[in-house]
Structure 1
Amino acid sequence: MEAELVVLATSGATTLITLMISDAWVQVKERVAHVLDRGGAKQDDVLRELETSRAALLHAIESGDGTRAAAIEVEWRSRLLHLLQSSPALAEDLQSLPAPAAGTVYNHISGRVRSGLVIQAGRIEGSTIHAPLDGHSGGTER
């Protein structure tokens, strides 16, 4: 039973973190807080904790701090495991949380580049990109 709870806590934390960085967060955060409130906390307190975690997560992602982002997920996995151990009925509610939409993609670009062109696509055919060769405007084709 313990292994099942660990798997559920891990899956729940991954889903929670993915929801926090998605556009769906606005729609699901109160439902998440309601589910987590079953552990005995007040829903407003849980909402504040979720928003604090989300802000820290977004800051970590924006600053390229993968270690901090991973630590936030570990914190939620630990918290979910504790809640599941004290209230096994929470498992059903946790599993009812919406999964992030299929096809939702989050990409983070980090590094020392201050500006530049980024293209993300599933498939590009027959495109011409015009960019300055020397960093000045001029539209010279590359």
Structure 2
Amino acid sequence: MEPELSALAMSAATAMVSAMVGDAWTQASERIAGFFGRRGRDPEAVSAELEESRTELVAAEAAQDTALTEDIESEWRLRLSRALRADPAAAQELRALLAEIAPEPPAAAGSVNVNNTISGGTQNAPVVQGQNFNGLTLNWTPPQPGQT
């Protein structure tokens, strides 16, 4: 799958999981079920799966179970990736859906939106996220073999 479509699936899954605990979930879930319905899935079955994920997510957040939250997001990212792989033209529809369920806030004059994501695995070096670094010094010693 193209990196752009993979990134789109990741962004959409993250937005979906965020929307699941939001006030506008009913409308968002209908749009998401419709998206999958146009790709050959039964919209009612997708709606039921979305509600099941939402119930699990609410319980996971109450229990502060980040692993389950990540699992739910990964599950929907995989489903979205498969839908995009089967129908790359669906990317435009998914972008429009993403804009509806997670609209970008208007940027202040002169500001820049920065979105950084680090996922999966262990980072064995410093990770710096931001913009316009000046005079940055990192005092870091890599772990010796056998250390974590």
- TM-score of Structure 1 vs Structure 2, range by shorter chain: 0.5 to 0.7
Question: Runs of 5+ in structure 2 lacking a partner?
Answer: 107-148
Query: In 2, Cα distance between the equivalents of 1:26 and 1:99?
Result: 11
Deviation beyond 2 Å, 4+ runs, structure 1: 99-103
* Residue 25 (structure 2) aligns with: 25
Q: Which residue of 1 aligns with 2:101?
A: 99
The residue that corresponds to 1:42 in the other structure is: 42
TM-superposed deviation, 1:29? 1.4
Given the two structures, how large is their TM-score scaled by the length of structure 2?
0.65
What's the CA shift for 1:42?
A: 0.7
- Preserved contact between residue 28 and residue 101 of structure 2 (Cα < 8 Å): no
Hey, what does 1:66 align to over in structure 2? 66
> How many Å separate the matches in 1 of 2:80 and 2:102?
18
- Measured against aligned partners, the alpha-carbon deviations of 1:47-81 in whole angstroms (never above 9, x if no partner) come to 00111111111111111110000110011111110
Match in the other structure for 1:84: 84
Q: How many residues align?
A: 103
TM-score (norm 1): 0.68
Question: Where does residue 10 of structure 2 map in the other structure?
Answer: 10
CA contact (8 A) 1:38 1:90 kept: no
Q: Give the equivalent residue in structure 2 for 1:110.
A: none
**Following TM superposition, by how much is the alpha carbon of 1:39 offset from its aligned partner in structure 2, in angstroms?**
2.2
